[in-house]
Structure 1
Amino acid sequence: MTKKILLSVFLLPATMAFAQQYGGMWIPTELNEKEMKDLGMKISAKDIFNPQKTSIKDAVVQFNGGCTAEIISPKGLLLTNHHCGYGQIQAHSTVQNDLLTNGFWAKNNDGELPNPGLKVDFIVDIKDVSHQILEGTDNLAEPELSKKVNSNIEFYKNAQKIESYQSISVKPMYYGNKYYAYTIDTYKDIRLVGTPPQSIGKFGSDTDNWVWPRHTGDFSMFRIYADKNNKPAEYSKDNIPYVPKHYLPVSIKDKNENDFTFVFGFPGKTTEYLPAIAVDKIMKDIDPAKIAVREIALKTLNEKMRTDDATRIKYASKYASVANYWKKWIGEIEGLKKSNAVEKKKRYETSLISKNQEIKTTLDQLNNLYNDQAPYALFNAYYTEVIKNAETLKLAEDYYNYISAVEAGKMNEKELNKLKDKLSSFYKDYSAELDAKVTAKLLALYAHKIPQQSLPSDFDKYKDETQNIPIIENISNHSIITGKSEINGTSTSTDIQKAFSNQDKLIETLKKDPVYLLYTSIREAYMKNTDSQFNALQNKIDVLQKKYMAQQMATDKERKFFPDANSTLRVTYGKVKGSTPRDAVSYDYQTHLAGVIEKYIPGDYEFDVPQKLLELYNKKDFSIYKDKTGDVPVGFTATNHTTGGNSGSPALDAYGNLIGLNFDRQWEGTMSDINYDPRFSRNIMVDTKYILFIIDKFADSKWLIDEMKVIK
């Protein structure tokens, strides 16, 4: 498709009906300003993103490469989700000083806690560089096409003049039909300011995860520090709080259904433009496989965590991470079925073909490729999830990659130090004994699910998980990878620097290590029987998906297209709204503190409530944070199209004031990554009234409130 046709597609007018039908994660330089104003927005698109002047984008950051956060004071005070800051909160926790259980609130700047390795990224400019990146690619096919694109990207990046603390990232959009360049400022001195106890920040835990109604105070607070010139700097006690170009006023006005709202953040990944057959495979094959693996891992971890506090603290962040998408995939399957996603896609494809017969050829080819790939895609899902969730095997993979890099001459000092830091951090929260049980059970699942011809030759012996446990425990107990055996006079789990002090000996020992040999046997069978076949077919699918994307945009003249999420800065907008996800089931858009008390179960790991919060509720000591009902609002839902990465994103009102903190989606609508459906798709946000109520009345940290501009 020519660039001229592409341009004409992007300039087509949007319609309300299509926004409601398809959702949207819009590049902030290409907003549907008219539609947003029709829905109630009172500011301009330039107020949201303007590279030449101060705008809301100057208060929004990507938090540690995964979540979103926002600045809410002139002193660099940063708000994000409790679950986004969970790793840092955990890192500062011990059995004696358990910040996860007790919470933490600095009493002044001196009490704020540094977090080595934590960073935030500001997007200072976005440019459409499609012409530069696609130049000279018109007649190229893979792999020459990718080589030329990558060469053009490097040429473009090297030609830009940037500061030492800046970087340029070039990202493909619309499956490589367009490219955008992002100029990024990175700040590296980020300190923990405050967090509620997890009985507030994780209230409802696993049971309530992904569901509505929700009563979770999912927030934590950090602060950006800078050098004396307000520029990014490595941690130093001499650094001072960052003075932002813009910070968000915090509104505690009451919310009403159908109020305009928009969410500004870094959504991770969506696949809204897949053909029907791809959605069918995800729903019937891929998601169920991933769920099965994580179900086993979670059950095994939970049994130990519920009876041992040290393990609970050590594995808290990892358990939450594994559980998060396990439950999401379950909801995704249900949502895809309920929204009739596959049939909806098929009807759309029929409509496209009626307007453009060339699309039939593309879809026929995609159908054939997906069917050919199906068994390999299933094996890939099991292999990837087993290695990821059996930590002992994941460790072995890291050591395998280390040896491969050394032998290829690619292990420089910088990469080696990164690996050592990664391993040191990993061992701190690793239990070889516990993971031996996880690994044993996952190997049994793998042995049953993968055809014998695609497994190592002697893998039948792992089919019984009960028999596996002593086998894997024995292997683990004789391994330097698990830290149970010594190398270079020490254990890898206690002194990684010394363990790596004699590289030749380390590599020689690793190649004979029983865990390493187990991992390599599984890997070699996978690489021989699955990996190359899967990737060869995927490469063909990717080429056709790019073509299909271009054909959709050129053919469907009525639809306004937005690029799939890819961890770049986006705006999504909608209205505060409840939902009716099932027959005779209706949800209001707002929850209140009374709902926390209704769910309260004393001593329960999910639904316990701090004594002070109970006292505040019983006294009705709500101050200015109650709404028209007389209670404190806790959470609310809206029709914003969000996904992973939007965690911690600011939810803003028509004037650009902060009204909530995005943290989840309604379970019935988690399929919105693949098939947004306005009937079910709702994002879930912590109400700013609850956030300020907890900071002020529960944490006695009014000094933080005093920093903010509060709109009453």
Structure 2
Amino acid sequence: MKRLVVVAALVGALPALADEGMWTYNNFPSAKVKAKYGFEPSQQWLDNVRLSSARLAGGCSASFVSPNGLVMTNHHCARGCIEQLSTAEKDYIANGFSAKTEADELKCPAMEINQLSEIVDVTDQLNKATQGLSGKQYSDTLKAEMSKIEKDCATSDQVRCDVVTLYQGGKYNLYKYRRFQDVRLVFAPEHAIAFFGGDPDNFEFPRYDLDVSFVRVYQDDKPAQIANYFKWSKGGAKDGELTFVSGHPGRTSRGLTVAELEYQRDVVMPKTLVTLAEIRGMITEFQKRGPEQQRISNNMKFGVENGLKAIKGRHEALVDKKFFATKVAAEQELRQKVEANPELKKKYGAAWDEIAKAQEQLKLIRKELNYIEQGQGLSSSLFNIAQRLVRAADELPKENGQRLREYTDAGLPAFKAQLFSTAPIYPELEIARLEFSLTKLREELGPDHPFVKKVLGKESPLGLATRLVNGTQLRDVAVREKLFEGGKKAITSSKDPMIQLAILVDPDGRAIRKNYEENIESVIRKNSELVAKAKFEAYGTNVYPDATFSLRLSYGSVQGYTDNGKKVTPFTQMAGAYERNTGEDPFALPKSWIDSKSKLKLSTPMNFVTTNDIIGGNSGSPMINKDAEIVGLVFDGNIQSLGGDFGFDESVNRTVAVHSDAIIEALAKIYGANRVLEELRPGKQPPVKAKPAG
């Protein structure tokens, strides 16, 4: 695999090269796009694209594609909703779903969609509040000021406000969102075609996936009216065409220091790979119990396998000696510039060493932080609900700025939506997950660790997991609501075993979190801010920040690439899916595709690749042309792009998307989804009779 060596050498320090960059909308390099492609996005164009873009609060991207609230995203992004709406009798994951009428659209139990309405720079306000502070005082003041800004911004439950940290603290922006919490499923194809090729094809190209779903946002029980939305292109993406991706890349690490990258390479990633492999093994064994067990755990397995392959690719990038040497060289160059200037040295010179010391401290508490506070030791939806209820009873009576960040006023609407979600919780799967995590807790911390003794007592992991899951009433949303409304009195008097466990372990979790936030996180935050400011002074501000699951815009073009000496063309065709079909998973086309083959134009482009710079979280992003029209739907990156967490190489990094023509062809001739077609291309698509999915 070709690695990121030359192009990525000074990522995080110098202005972006080639088509590199996940740019914020208030610092987009329109002039660079014009210089290379002859098109300069105007402010009006940028505003329209921003407002036409959407975010799934659970971790994906999306877009508005009609004035009546129709939203397009990936099947794997809507998969949680699809699975939660499914039953053993109606398996929408296996068989697909298509709402024949508006009344047939099904409400997703736990989906929230956000539209970014405004961006405000609040850097000066936060810098002024924290000036001269360090340690606990810096951490507490920064969080309190963030909470205040967010609370003043969030004027109703229909508004969400997040202070976003950019450039590792060099800048702070307030992102104000329009929030939609009534989201309903409109269309989803079968899993077999949405993830055709399965894990063997994941992060590979050529691909033949129809990884698309449509949902609709509602307001006051009616389809929401949307002023800005993407229209559909007439012919889809063409070879060499300029393309834009507007989405929410989850997190990159291009601006991290060498010490932070070493911690990821040597500690976090190797351990995470082992843990995910063990979880995959646990799920695989669970699925052997029967078809229902397989159905209810498929989504979890999908996520684990995806994460396992992604982290493996990122780890391979960091263990590549040539690539890592470029990160070291970039940092040394910046530090030399700082050392050569007495004023810069005084302000920023110690920052890298302070971050390195914090990484050493993090190594010492990593296991306890992960297994006591961050969920690895008590992995259970029901325990998570219990912990939220217990902490809400303690946190909500406090002043807004003094609460844990997840309990601030600005976050309460989303918090309540998750807490009171009607998404099904399956006891058998809960027991399996909890038994596994309790076993790992004892293994990692040791049987003599006070926390392990406190949790397990004389019970086995299986015995405790079974007693807790079978004894709790927290699967009942009404019970959760009663406990939440009853506050501290209701919590302390509850006999629910899951609540009692959450109360028992809460002091331990809070203690390790306090140590981390005050003595490690605050040091990293403060000194990362100094490193970022040093970069600004040395190289200027014509750089993009690391991804933070906030809306970004990247530009590129439709281009193939060379892989191990073999030329990879940028397009696949629908015919290729039939050629690849074996009739056995994961290369088994669904019956609807087999039955409809004669109706299709098999030369229709299926999937394609571009040079757009993306990362995980961009799944579901719209791929648009210069006229802000849909030409594709992002659903993956190629295997070479997995190192994109740390750098970008235009020669091989590729975004993988579903071609817009393939979506139309399938909706019309395979699924007969005429309602969706009419919204995407009003008056242009003649109805085609086909058996709707589901």
| TM-score for both structures, normalised by structure 1 | 0.80
Select 1:485's aligned residue among 443, 461, 471: 471
Match of 2:592 in 1: 612
Q: Which string of whole-angstrom CA distances, capped at 9 and with x for unpartnered residues, describes residues 533-573 of structure 1?
A: 6862332222211111111221135x831122222221111
CA distance in 2, matches of 1:118, 1:611: 29
* Equivalent in the alignment of 1:640: 612
Check the 8 A contact 2:114/2:180 in 1, yes or no: yes
Q: 1:476 aligns with which of 465, 476, 487?
A: 465
Is residue 29 from structure 1 mapped to residue 26 from structure 2 by the alignment? yes
Worse-matched range after superposition: 450-459 or 316-325: 450-459
1:90 and 2:59 aligned: no
1:297–1:613 CA distance, 2 compared to 1 (3 A): same
- The alignment partner of 2:27 has SS state of coil
Q: In structure 2, how many angstroms separate the alpha carbons of the residues matched to 1:334 and 1:494?
A: 44
- Deviation of the 1:661 alpha carbon: 0.8
- For residue 224 of structure 2, what is the amino acid of its counterpart? Y
Question: For residue 612 of structure 2, what is the amino acid of its counterpart?
Answer: N
Identity %: 21
Residue aligning to 1:571: 553
Pairing 1:195–2:188 present: yes
Report the 3-state secondary structure (helix = DSSP H, G, I; strand = E; otherwise coil) of the residue aligned with 1:135. helix
Deviations 1:122-179 (A, max 9, x none): 2222222333443354433344445554555566566669677334433232222222
Give the counterpart of 1:681 among 621, 643, 653.
653
Mapped partners of 1:495, 1:76: distance in 2: 28
Q: Do the aligned partners of residues 458 and 520 (structure 1) sit closer, same or farther apart at CA in structure 2, a change above 3 Å counting?
A: same
The alignment status of 1:119 with 2:119, answered yes or no, reads: no
> Quick check: 1:636–1:686 contact (8 Å CA) kept in 2?
yes
Give the partner amino acid of 1:485.
G
Q: Which of 15, 20, 30 is the aligned partner of 2:17?
A: 20
What are the Cα deviations for residues 641-685 of structure 1, in whole angstroms up to 9, with x where unaligned?
222322211111232221111122222322312333334432221
**How far apart, in 2, do the equivalents of 1:391 and 1:521 lie?**
16
CA gap of 1:526–1:44, structure 2 versus 1, over 3 A, is closer
CA shift, 1:80, in A, is 0.8
Alpha-carbon distance in 1 for matches of 2:583, 2:290: 19
Kept in 2: contact 1:290–1:381 (CA 8 A): no
2:254 aligned residue: 272
Alpha carbons of structure 1 residues 669 and 339: separation in structure 2 relative to 1, 3 Å: farther
Contact 1:335–1:669 (CA under 8 A) maintained in structure 2: no
Aligned positions of 1:355-434 closer than 5 A: 355-357=337-339, 358=345, 361-377=350-366, 380-381=369-370, 387-388=375-376, 391-392=379-380, 395-396=382-383, 398-406=385-393, 410=397, 425=421, 428-432=424-428, 434=429
- CA distance in 1 between counterparts of 2:261 and 2:64 reads 38
Give 2:45's aligned residue: 48
Q: 2:519 aligns with which of 536, 539, 542?
A: 536
Cα distance in 2 for partners of 1:351, 1:679 equals 25
The verdict on how the C-alpha distance between 1:402 and 1:65 changes in structure 2, with shifts beyond 3 A counting, is closer
**What SS does the corresponding residue of 1:19 show, helix, strand or coil?**
coil
Q: Contact 2:110–2:421 (CA<8 Å) still a contact in 1?
A: no
Change (3 A) 1:592 1:380: farther
* Contact in 1 for aligned 2:571/2:609 (Cα 8 Å): yes
Does the 8 Å contact 2:249/2:551 carry over to 1?
yes
Deviates more, 1:65-74 or 1:283-292: 65-74
Whether 1:546 aligns to 2:535 is no
Helix, strand or coil for the counterpart of 1:217? coil
In the alignment, structure 1 residue 622 sits paired with structure 2 residue 600: yes
Which has the bigger relative contact order, CA under 8 A and spacing at least 6? 2
8 Å Cα contact 2:370/2:377 also seen in 1: no
What is the match of residue 93 of structure 2? 100
Q: 1:285-306 CA distances to partner (integer Å, 9 max, x unpaired)? A: 1012122222222222123325
**2:354 and 2:523 in contact (8 A); partners too:** no
Q: Give 1:259 deviation, angstroms.
A: 2.3
Give 3-state SS (helix, strand or coil) of 1:356's partner.
helix
| Contact 2:376–2:441 under 8 Å retained in 1 | no
Q: Distance in 2 between matches of 1:108 and 1:526?
A: 48
Counterpart position of 1:299: 281
Moved more, 206-215 or 527-536: 527-536
Distance 1:572 1:516, change over 3 A: same
Alignment of 1:254-273 (within 5 A): 255-273=237-255
Name 1:229's counterpart in structure 2: none
- Displacement of 1:209 after TM fit? 2.6
Q: Would the alpha carbon gap of residues 156 and 140 (structure 1) be closer, same or farther in structure 2, given more than 3 Å must change?
A: same
Is the CA contact (8 Å cut-off) linking 2:154 and 2:161 kept in structure 1?
Answer: no
Residues 46 and 94 of structure 1, relative CA distance in 2, 3 Å threshold: same
Alpha carbons 1:290, 1:382 under 8 Å: kept: no
**Which amino acid in 1 is paired with 2:292?**
A
- Residue 587 (str. 1) matches residue 568 (str. 2): yes
1:183-222 alignment runs, 5 A limit: 183-222=176-215
- What is the letter of the counterpart of residue 91 of structure 1? Q
Return the alpha-carbon distance in structure 2 between the equivalents of residues 242 and 134 of structure 1. 39
Residue 343 of structure 1 deviates from its aligned partner by 1.3
Residue in structure 2 matching 1:701, options 658, 666, 673: 673
CA contact (8 A) 2:60 2:620 kept: yes
Are the equivalent residues in 2 in contact too, given 1:167–1:185 (CA < 8 A)?
A: yes
Deviation, 1:440, is 4.0
* CA distance in 1: counterparts of 2:165 and 2:555, whole angstroms: 23
Change (3 A) 1:448 1:120: closer
- Determine whether 1:316 maps to 2:313: no
Partner of 2:577: 596
- Alpha-carbon RMSD across the aligned residues, in angstroms, is 3.9
Q: Which amino acid in 2 is paired with 1:707?
A: E
Partner of 2:312, secondary structure, is helix
How many Å separate the matches in 2 of 1:405 and 1:120?
24
Output the CA distance in 2 between the equivalents of 1:485 and 1:560: 57
Q: Cα deviation per residue 1:472-528 (whole Å; 9 max; x = unaligned)? A: 332234x2x30x237xxxx444675299679978746658x49966x8888877777
Give the Cα–Cα distance (whole angstroms) in 2 for the partners of residues 532 and 87 of structure 1: 34
Task: List runs of 5+ in structure 1 lacking aligned partners.
Answer: 1-13, 226-232, 463-467
Q: Does 1:556 align with 2:539?
A: yes
Deviation for aligned residue 1:347: 0.7
- Deviation track 1:377-420 (CA, whole Å, cap 9, x = no partner) reads 355446667x348544x6335424534544677499x9999989
1:665 aligns with 2:658: no
Deviation at 1:217, TM superposition (A): 1.0
CA distance in 2, matches of 1:22, 1:553: 21
Residues 614 and 336 (structure 1 numbering): CA distance in 2 closer, same or farther, change over 3 Å? Answer: farther
How many matched pairs?
A: 653
Q: Displacement of 1:108 after TM fit?
A: 3.0
Matched, 1:334 2:316: yes
Amino acid across the alignment from 1:538: E
1:345 maps to 2:345:
no
Equivalent position SS for 1:90: helix
Cα distance in structure 1, aligned partners of 2:19 and 2:355: 22
| Secondary structure at the counterpart of residue 255 of structure 2 | coil
* Equivalent residues of 1:638, 1:684 under 8 A apart: yes
Bigger Cα displacement from structure 2, 375-384 vs 667-676? 375-384
Structure 1 letter corresponding to 2:27: E
Matched residue type, 2:32: E
1:291-332 per-residue CA deviation (whole Å, 9 max, x = no partner) reads: 222222222212332552222332233332333322211121
Pair 1:420–1:140, CA change in 2 (3 A): closer
Q: 1:276 to 1:421 in 2, by over 3 A?
A: closer
